[in-house]
């Protein structure tokens, strides 16, 4: 099996890290790097969780000093590795038997332009799907392919997919080097969707490997924060991704649409939406500064029609009008 660097980024190592590391046991060709995205107390906790002395299975403990967020934490861990294949694995995810061999074999047999392969990720010990790849909607929203559905074989045929959920993915180092690192201002959420869009604009592709089963607790660390905290990053980062990666007309129209929705929401969530809008505005200059490097030119990209489709604004306006009519109809009943 080709040498693999398995990178596990952890923020709360006491929650699920040991199970994740144990699932990587027995792979002689795998260099396990546990990157602690926390202060010195987090590193000490990780050391306790993994055991005293040498870490099991030859794992390396990389102390990042503080919480850099998911994107920058992964970037720093990748910089410490050198194998041709890189497995990114959340600390609350774990491989089932044979999953890594299946992914490595699939990537080795895939065309050279394949950036990575995505496994079938199931929610915990259930038969519900967490993700078999990911996609970016025409409005810039990010969703896991198949999320919440029963695993009844619907996604069991290997094939192309729009992108990957970085809770578990096997990537070619060559693709990471060509596309570039994850964009650190995201901190967390949408950084994987952004990277996959950039990869596709550069000509890379993604394939599913449904015979590789990974189980994932889903947001084990994020669940320790208020729901508004998660909503803040998801909305803001979706807007930044649109600004960085989408075609000009899409980016302009969707940015205006998102801002109108953020400003015109319910009063109860007004404070969080205003903070999100202010944070988005602070990051706009950096997003625009990186846009040309992503798209090559400021105008249309040759792959825009294939990746993004026609301008989606009219669809959103029609959907909003329909939702309002249905709401008025329900109120009249």
Q: Which residue in 246, 229, 275, 284 sits closest to 69, CA to CA?
A: 229
pLDDT on residue 325: 74
What pLDDT, on the 0 to 100 scale, is given for residue 301?
Answer: 86
* Confidence check: pLDDT of 104 > 90: yes
3-state SS class at 22: helix
Between 28 and 176, the higher pLDDT residue: 176
Looking at residue 16, its pLDDT comes to: 80
Sign (positive or negative) of CA dihedral 20, 22, 28, 33: positive
CA distances from 314 to 32, 212, 324 (A): 48, 40, 15
The whole-angstrom separation of Cα 207 and Cα 69 is 27
Predicted pLDDT at 56:
53
Among 43-57, 241-255, 278-292, the range of highest mean pLDDT:
278-292
pLDDT in tens, 107-159: 999 999 999 999 999 999 999 999 999 999 888 889 999 999 999 999 999 99
Count of alpha carbons within 13 Å of 292, Cβ hemisphere only? 5
Local confidence band at 316 (pLDDT 50, 70, 90 cut-offs): low
pLDDT value of residue 59: 75
Token digits of residue 27 = 């792979």
pLDDT digits (tens, 9 = 90+) for 68-97: 999 999 999 999 999 999 999 999 999 999
Determine the Cα–Cα distance for residues 152 and 165; give it in Å rounded to an integer: 20
* Structure token pair of residue 240: 């930044």
> In the chain, what are the helix, strand and coil shares in percent, each to the nearest 5?
45, 20, 30
Percent of the chain whose pLDDT exceeds 70? 86
Residues near 99 by beta carbon (within 8 Å), at least 6 away in sequence: 119, 212, 213, 214
Per-residue pLDDT at 1: 73
Among 34-38, 153-157, 164-168, 222-226, which is the least confidently predicted range? 222-226
Give the pairing of strands 30-36 and 114-123: unpaired
Between these two residues, 272 and 55, which has the higher pLDDT value?
A: 272
Between 195 and 321, residue with greater pLDDT: 195
Instruction: Give the span between the Cα atoms of 285 and 128, in whole angstroms.
Output: 41
- Nearest CA among 83, 99, 93, 241 for reference residue 171: 83
* Average predicted confidence (pLDDT) for the chain: 85
Give the three-class secondary structure for 132. Answer: coil
Residue for token pair 């729009």:
162
Of 43 and 246, more confident: 246
pLDDT of residue 53: 45
The pLDDT value given to residue 248: 87
First to last CA, the chain: 64
Query: Which candidate, 290, 299, 296, 112, places its Cα nearest to that of 207?
Result: 112
Confidence bin at 50 (pLDDT 50/70/90): low
Contact (CB, 8 A) for 216 and 118: no
All structural domains of the chain: 4-223 (3.90.550.60), 225-332 (no CATH)
What average pLDDT does range 305-321 have in this prediction?
Answer: 65
Q: Considering the chain, what percentage of its residues have pLDDT values greater than 90?
A: 52
Q: How confident is the model at residue 54 (pLDDT cuts 50, 70, 90)?
A: very low
Element containing residue 141 per DSSP (H, E): none
CA–CA separation, 217 and 197 (whole Å): 26
């Amino acid at each position: 099996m080709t040498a693999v660097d398995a990178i596990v980024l952890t923020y709360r190592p006491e929650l699920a890290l040991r199970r994740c590391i144990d699932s990587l046991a027995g792979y002689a060709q795998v260099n396990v790097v546990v990157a602690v995205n926390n202060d010195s107390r987090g590193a000490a906790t990780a050391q306790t969780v993994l055991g005293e002395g040498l870490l099991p299975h030859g794992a390396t403990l990389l102390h990042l000093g503080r919480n850099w967020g998911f994107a920058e934490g992964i970037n720093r861990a990748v910089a410490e590795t050198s194998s041709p294949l890189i497995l990114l694995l959340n600390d609350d995810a774990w491989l089932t038997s044979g999953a890594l061999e299946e992914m490595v074999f699939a990537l080795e047999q895939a065309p050279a332009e394949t950036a990575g392969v995505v496994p079938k990720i199931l929610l915990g010990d259930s038969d519900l799907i967490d993700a078999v790849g990911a996609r970016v909607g025409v409005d810039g929203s990010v969703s896991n392919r198949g999320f919440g559905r029963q695993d009844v074989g619907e996604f069991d045929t290997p094939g192309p997919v729009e992108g990957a959920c970085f809770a578990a993915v096997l990537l070619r180092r060559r693709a990471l080097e060509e596309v570039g690192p994850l964009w650190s201002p995201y901190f967390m959420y949408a950084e994987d969707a952004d990277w996959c869009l950039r990869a596709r604009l550069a000509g890379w592709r993604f394939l599913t490997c449904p015979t590789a089963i990974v189980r994932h607790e889903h947001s084990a660390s994020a669940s320790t924060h208020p729901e508004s905290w998660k909503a803040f990053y998801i909305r803001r980062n979706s807007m930044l991704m649109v600004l960085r990666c989408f075609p000009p007309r899409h980016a302009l129209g969707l940015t205006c649409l998102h801002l109108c929705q953020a400003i015109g929401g319910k009063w109860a969530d007004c404070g969080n939406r205003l903070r999100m809008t202010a944070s988005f505005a602070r990051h706009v200059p950096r997003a625009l500064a990186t846009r040309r490097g992503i798209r090559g030119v400021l105008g249309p990209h040759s792959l825009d029609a294939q990746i993004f489709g026609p301008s989606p604004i009219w669809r959103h306006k029609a959907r909003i009008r329909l939702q309002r009519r249905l709401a008025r109809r329900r109120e009249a009943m």
